[in-house]
Amino acid sequence: MELVAKETGGLLLVQVLERRIDAASAIQFKDRMRDLANRTAGNLLLDMSQVTFLDSSGLGAVVAVMKLLGPGRKLELAGLTPTVDKVFRLTRMDTVFVIHPQLPESLRDAS
């Protein structure tokens, strides 16, 4: 699972450089995100602009990462592709996560 992380202003920006987060990769994703989240005490922003497919296992892994952060930290999402966005809307997870249509302008140079 290829993820790239960069800390900027107390926020950990994590870019998913994979096309799919599914049953075959969900455990790897969750384990890698746990390692990255332990690097900082701040919030995380997950750039999913390259992810074109997310199944229920992948969605469960994203939710698990949010729970792993605990109540004092937030996991926000950015750049959901139309198919992935549809999964979040159909499962009503769009009401649980802050979802940015694209990576905020101030963070584009950090990626």
pLDDT, mean of each 10-residue run, the chain (111 residues)? 89 95 95 91 93 96 94 94 96 95 71 51
State the pTM of this model.
0.89
Q: Which domains does the chain have, with CATH numbers?
A: 3-108 (3.30.750.24)
Q: Are strands 11-16 and 3-8 parallel, antiparallel or unpaired?
A: antiparallel
Cα diameter, the chain: 34
Give the H/E segment covering residue 11.
Answer: strand 11-16
Provide the pLDDT for residue 109.
61
